[in-house]
Chains A and B, each alone.
Chain A
Amino acid sequence: MSTFLTLLRRDCAQLLLGGRRGGALLPVLFFLAVAMLYPFAVGPDAPLLARTGGGVIWVAALLAAILPLDRLIEPDLELGLFDQFALRGISEEGVVAVRVLAHWLSFGPPLMLAALPASALVGIDGAQLRLIEWGLLAGTPGLAALGVLVAAITAGLRGGAALGGLLVIPLAVPLLVFGAGSLSAGGEAGLALTGAVSLVLLAITPFAGAAAIKSSRG
């Protein structure tokens, strides 16, 4: 147990505070920047902004989750960290699961906080905002798992970071469809489906990610 706490502490220090690699701040600023730019691009049409703003927030959240992809697995693989874990009998599955948790902590709650000013920027009302927050709570764990999974698969590949971003986008479509869909009238069931997709991704990722790391060892 304390092994995993030690790992979580290191992962959080790396991803949340980020050392010199940006940390949790960069995705949040990116997310806010998108929400800020959108009204400039669409123009001061308040009903239109309020109607489409929720979807934009979801797209911005998805893209913000892609930003830290290249530092999720790759640097540690290069460092030889996973080799040393293997020697100590620490399973890759456990390491990947801890990494998913740390990655979620580094962008899920910050994005949910940033959604408050972002929804004000696009003129979303209280009821919609509540749905967005619930949706992000249900969807960001899935995005975190997907990010770690794709980072593990593309780690060690040439141009892996760019490829990873491209891979995440189609795989995140179900989360986006259900998450953003929950905002339309009568779409509340989308929240449950978003949560279901997240759970599936959370269940698969430790095993698939561990398999990817093991096979990259050659």
Chain B
Amino acid sequence: MQAGGLTATELFCRRGDRFLFGSLSLRAAPGDALHLVGPNGTGKTSLLRLLAGLLLPTPPSGAIEWQGTCGYLDGRPTLDEHLPLSEALAFWTRLDRAAEVPLERLGLAALTDIPVRYLSTGQRKRAGLARLIGQGADHWLLDEPLNGLDREGAALVEALIAEKRAAGGAVVVASHQPLALPSAQVLDLRKFLPSPAGRGRGWGNDVSAEPPPQPLPAGEGLS
């Protein structure tokens, strides 16, 4: 369907005074899945937000090219907390006017009258998935989509991803939990730590190495 998918070249990312990754290039053709792995704090969420256009790449370079629209799901369902689930979803439906939301399949059909703030963690995740599906975007960026979901829910997410890929979408997933993504590329962010030369403090190629404790300069207290 869509030619191209996602191409990102020469991305650098700095958060505060920490360089997270550098010179990262990736490509996801339609139907591809990309599984981001790496310990906490290596920049999986930052990379997803970069790809979504919510963060700007740190200079000197970086280009991200999408063909088609892109949906993003993180830990928040992004639904109005005090509204019943059906009304909270209806806002996005009116805005997107795109796909039908399979509430039954997501296990939400019985919950439509319940305000979003009363939903459990797993139900909120399912509600977020409902919003994502309703957007009808061509490609998906998923940040820890399995968090809080039961085994059945995890299988559902895997099935949804497989269907999205079959329909010609590219899916980028950051997940610590094992996730069945057939023939997915695995991108380990530890491989993209900036070289120790020049950038940052104490960043080697060994991710387990802590930066050596810096002695406090005279006159500067603990913050």
A: residues with CB less than 8 A from B are 3, 6-7, 10, 14, 19-21, 78-81, 83-84, 86-88, 90, 217-218
Set of chain B residues within 8 Å of A81, measured between Cβ atoms: 78
Contacting pair A80 B95 (CB below 8 A) = no
Contact yes or no, B53 A87, CB < 8 A: yes
| Contact assessment for B76 and A79 in the assembled complex, using a CB-CB cutoff below 8 Å | yes
Q: Which residue from B15, B79, B95 sits with its C-beta under 8 Å from A88? A: B95
Q: Besides A80-B76, A87-B69, 12 other CB < 8 A contacts? A: A6-B91, A6-B95, A7-B95, A20-B82, A21-B82, A79-B78, A80-B74, A80-B78, A84-B92, A86-B54, A88-B69, A218-B15
Residues in B lying within 8 Å of A, measured CB to CB: 15, 52-55, 69-72, 74, 76, 78-83, 91-92, 94-96, 135, 137
> Top 5 nearest A-B pairs by Cβ distance?
A80-B78, A19-B82, A80-B76, A6-B94, A84-B78
The reply to whether A83 and B54 contact each other, CB–CB distance below 8 Å, is: yes
B78 near A87 with CB under 8 A, answer: no
Q: How many A-B residue pairs have CB under 8 A?
A: 51
Instruction: Tell me if A88 and B78 are in contact (CB < 8 A).
Output: no
Residues of A within 8 A of B82 (CB): 19-21
Look across to chain A and name the residue whose beta carbon is closest to the beta carbon of B53: A86
CB-based nearest B residue for A10: B91
Q: Is the CB of A217 within 8 A of B55?
A: yes
Given A217-B54, A218-B15, A83-B94 contact (CB < 8 Å): no
Are A83 and B78 in touch, CB under 8 angstroms?
A: yes
A90 CA / B69 CA spacing, docked (Å): 13
Instruction: Determine the distance from Cα of A69 to Cα of B191 in the docked complex, in whole angstroms.
Output: 45
Which chain B residue lies CB-closest to A7?
Answer: B95
Contact at A19–B83, with CB atoms within 8 Å?
Answer: yes
Closest-CB distance, A123 to chain B (whole angstroms): 41
